[in-house]
């Protein structure tokens, strides 16, 4: 089985991207894993700090490791959007395969300093436990929260996109494995439509940093924008809001259709089906399948 790093390298060589989908429960995990196995593509399961608290870090690590070894399948666990070094360390210690340290709200130099500490810590643990741990950082504000938005959040604009110069300095100073830049993307789905992505900025940042880039805030973006950004150097795409919408709408409908039903395994299957449909479509797009 290929390692996490090898899967990312292979995606880059093939000009495709790996899908990263967030979960808060097992139904969603089943749906995502079913979709990945059906299409035979590697998959990354993400839990933010809040999602990790709800699901349980130990539980998340146990389930992902069990699936990976039972099926000899490239499924990896990412600690998505950790807003402090302490939180990132907690997920690294719990056994996550990667963490996203998101300190974009801090001044640039402080972001560099703490991100570097996180990288150093991950390297130590990786060496001690003889396992791969990747560290990703965010650079450039793209909003917070995977939800339906009335308007573009303040502070997200073309003017605040990550510059290749900042990205180069940041990556050289921190040694991160992966970088999530701001290239027109935004977390959540804007009611009037998400902004367009900027593949030319992806290309410039990739050339400046030489490391794999991650596209956050994938929900609601246009297919042609995804394809163009993947071609220019995006190796992983994050989707969360679309999963939440699919799950919640299917659950509401199922409960309405079965008002007397109290057995979760009878009213929850439509949620698995709905999420799987969304994930399959996204994975096909990211993998260049028809």
Which residues are the active-site residues? Answer: 80
C-alpha pair distances (Å), 49 with each of 25, 30, 88, 142, 166: 14, 21, 9, 17, 26
C-alpha pair distances (Å), 13 with each of 90, 203, 233: 33, 15, 10
CA-CA-CA-CA torsion sign (187, 22, 221, 215): positive
For ligand 13P, which stretch binds (CB under 6 A), given 132-140, 205-213, 237-245, 265-273? 237-245
Segment holding 190, helix H or strand E: strand 189-190
Which residue has 């939800």 as its token pair? 147
Asked if 24 interacts with ligand 13P (CB under 6 A), we say: no
Nearer to ligand 13P, 112 or 214 (CB): 214
Closest CB 215 distance from ligand 13P, rounded Å: 8
Q: Is 138 annotated as a binding residue?
A: yes
Which residue has 């001690």 as its token pair? 128
C-alpha pair distances (Å), 237 with each of 18, 21, 162, 166, 260: 6, 8, 17, 22, 39
Asked if 101 interacts with ligand 13P (CB under 6 A), we say: no
Nearer to ligand 13P, 167 or 186 (CB): 186
Single out the residue of 7, 19, 22, 285 in contact with ligand 13P (rule: CB under 6 A). Answer: 22
Single out the residue of 52, 98, 146, 276 in contact with ligand 13P (rule: CB under 6 A). Answer: 146
Binding to ligand 13P by CB under 6 A, coded x per residue (else -) over 243-282, reads ----------------------------------------
Nearer to ligand 13P, 228 or 239 (CB): 239
**Distance (Å, whole) CA 23 – CA 46:** 6
Asked if 88 interacts with ligand 13P (CB under 6 A), we say: no
Q: What does the angle CA 148 – CA 78 – CA 84 come to, to the nearest 5 degrees? A: 80
- For residue 39, the tally of other CB atoms under 10 A from its CB is 16
Closest CB 22 distance from ligand 13P, rounded Å: 6
Q: How many residues bind ligand 13P (CB under 6 A)?
A: 15
Binding to ligand 13P by CB under 6 A, coded x per residue (else -) over 173-192, reads --------------xx----
Asked if 219 interacts with ligand 13P (CB under 6 A), we say: yes
**Which is nearest to 220 in space by CA: 142, 148, 141, 160?**
148
For ligand 13P, which stretch binds (CB under 6 A), given 120-128, 152-160, 166-174, 212-220? 212-220
Nearer to ligand 13P, 111 or 194 (CB): 194
Around 14, how many Cα atoms within 13 Å sit in the side-chain half-sphere?
16
Single out the residue of 218, 225, 232, 279 in contact with ligand 13P (rule: CB under 6 A). Answer: 218
- Which tokens is 80 given? 């998505």
Single out the residue of 81, 82, 201, 282 in contact with ligand 13P (rule: CB under 6 A). Answer: 81
Q: What does the angle CA 11 – CA 278 – CA 246 come to, to the nearest 5 degrees? A: 140
Q: Is 187 annotated as a binding residue?
A: yes
Closest CB 41 distance from ligand 13P, rounded Å: 18
Q: Which residues are annotated as a binding site for Zn(2+)?
A: 81, 102, 138, 187, 216
């Amino acid at each position: 089985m290929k390692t996490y790093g090898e899967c990312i390298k292979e995606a880059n060589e093939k000009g495709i991207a790996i899908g990263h989908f967030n979960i808060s429960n097992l139904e969603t995990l089943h749906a995502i894993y079913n979709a990945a196995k059906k299409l035979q593509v590697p998959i990354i399961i993400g839990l933010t700090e809040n999602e990790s608290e709800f699901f349980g870090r130990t539980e998340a690590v146990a389930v992902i490791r069990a699936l990976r070894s039972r099926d000899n399948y490239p499924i990896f666990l990412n600690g998505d959007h950790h807003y402090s070094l302490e939180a990132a360390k907690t997920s690294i210690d719990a056994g996550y395969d990667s963490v996203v340290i998101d300190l974009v709200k801090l001044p640039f130099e402080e972001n560099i300093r703490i991100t570097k500490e996180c990288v150093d810590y991950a390297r130590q643990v990786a060496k001690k436990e003889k396992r791969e741990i990747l560290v990703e950082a965010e650079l450039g504000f793209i909003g917070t929260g995977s939800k339906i938005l009335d308007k573009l959040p303040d502070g997200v604009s073309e003017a605040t996109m990550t510059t290749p110069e900042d990205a180069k300095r940041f990556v050289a100073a921190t040694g991160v494995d992966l970088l999530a830049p701001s290239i027109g993307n935004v977390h959540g789905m804007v009611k009037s439509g998400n902004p367009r992505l900027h593949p030319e900025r992806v290309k410039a940042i990739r050339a400046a940093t030489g490391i794999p880039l991650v596209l956050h805030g994938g929900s609601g973006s246009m297919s042609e924008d995804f394809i163009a950004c993947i071609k220019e150097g995006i190796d992983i795409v994050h989707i969360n809001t679309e999963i939440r919408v699919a799950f919640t709408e299917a659950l509401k409908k199922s409960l309405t259709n079965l008002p007397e039903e109290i057995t979760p395994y009878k009213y929850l299957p439509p949620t698995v089906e709905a999420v799987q449909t969304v994930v399959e479509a996204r994975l096909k797009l990211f993998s260049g399948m028809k």
